[in-house]
Amino acid sequence: MKVEFEESYHNFENTKGELLFGVLGKPVSTRYPGKLPCLIMCHGLRQNCHQRKFVELSWHLAYHGIASFGLDFAGHGQSSGDLEDSSIINQVDDLGSAYQYLKLNREKFKIDLDRIAFLGHSLGALIAVLFQAQYLDAAKTLILLAPALHQRELIKEWHTPEEIKSWKECHYLDTKKGRIGLQYFKEAVSRNWADEVSNITVRTLMISGDQDDDVPLEYNQHVYGRFSDKIASWEHVSHADHNFESYRAKEDLNFMVLKWLNRFL
């Protein structure tokens, strides 16, 4: 498949003055000359918008006339800031800064602000839910990939009691991908974040990999049950792990996302 694709790189500030990085992917203007719907993509903790699944999804959507904007949260990827300062609330603020950046430049970028969707992976799914719950008309639809909304419970699965104890005492936790600060931990365990989906009023697609060891399916089952009646749909990708890394998983993911956006965006 030949992809007629334009990609541009952008820097903009969040409310703390940190410089955030984003990638805008669009079909070439000669093929789609009008305003475009846009999918804003939110990565997970210690990840970034350059993950292969985001890149290939951008290509796929552009071929079908949909723009995308991949955001690096502060402390991640090519954005400034420290990973140690990253937190749930700070990332919601970063998503707001990205949304405002697109809003201010909607004419220049030829983005249809009435046709915005959010896609979040893992922790990014929680960020998308929280922002949409706060600003109910921000997005027309949501897509949640392997949503890690049960932060309080998942932290106990991801880390040993000794690691959690050290995290509290030292105010940080060193991991293979960087140091995570105490503020993220405090916010993660402070409440049942999955309850926030009850505030969502737009159609939402959940996609889970059936071999996801990081966020077991029973957690996604609970999230799905928390949505208002007929708001959410839940799809499964066969032989897919938490990050949808395999070729077949990305192919299935692209198909499901495009089908959903064509219907609800």
Q: Is the pLDDT of residue 5 over 90?
A: no
Tens-place pLDDT, residues 89-104: 999 999 999 999 999 9
- The reported pLDDT for the residue numbered 189 is 96
Kindly state the average pLDDT of the residues 165-185.
94
Q: Is the pLDDT of residue 86 over 80?
A: yes
Tens-place pLDDT, residues 119-129: 999 999 999 99
- Decide which of 265 and 1 is more confident: 265
What one-character DSSP code corresponds to residue 17?
S
- Average pLDDT over all residues of the chain: 95
Distances (CA, A) of 61 to 102, 250, 259: 18, 13, 10
Do the beta carbons of residue 135 and residue 259 sit within 8 Å? no
Going by C-alpha positions, the residue among 131, 144, 147, 151 that lies closest to residue 233 is: 144
Kindly state the average pLDDT of the residues 136-160.
97
4 band by pLDDT with thresholds 50, 70 and 90: confident
Tens-place pLDDT, residues 229-258: 789 999 999 999 999 999 999 999 999 999
Q: Is the pLDDT of residue 152 over 90?
A: yes
228 band by pLDDT with thresholds 50, 70 and 90: confident
CATH architecture, range 5-151+192-264: 3-Layer(aba) Sandwich (3.40)
- The reported pLDDT for the residue numbered 208 is 98
- The reported pLDDT for the residue numbered 45 is 95
Going by C-alpha positions, the residue among 192, 253, 227 that lies closest to residue 59 is: 253
- The reported pLDDT for the residue numbered 229 is 78
- The reported pLDDT for the residue numbered 65 is 94
40 band by pLDDT with thresholds 50, 70 and 90: very high
Across the chain, the runs of DSSP E, i.e. the strands, are 5-13, 19-27, 36-42, 67-72, 111-121, 141-145, 172-175, 178-181, 203-209, 232-237
Q: So where are the chain's domains? A: 5-151+192-264
- The reported pLDDT for the residue numbered 149 is 98
- The reported pLDDT for the residue numbered 3 is 54
Q: How many CA atoms lie within 13 A of 96 on its CB side?
A: 16
Tens-place pLDDT, residues 7-35: 999 999 999 999 999 999 999 877 788 89
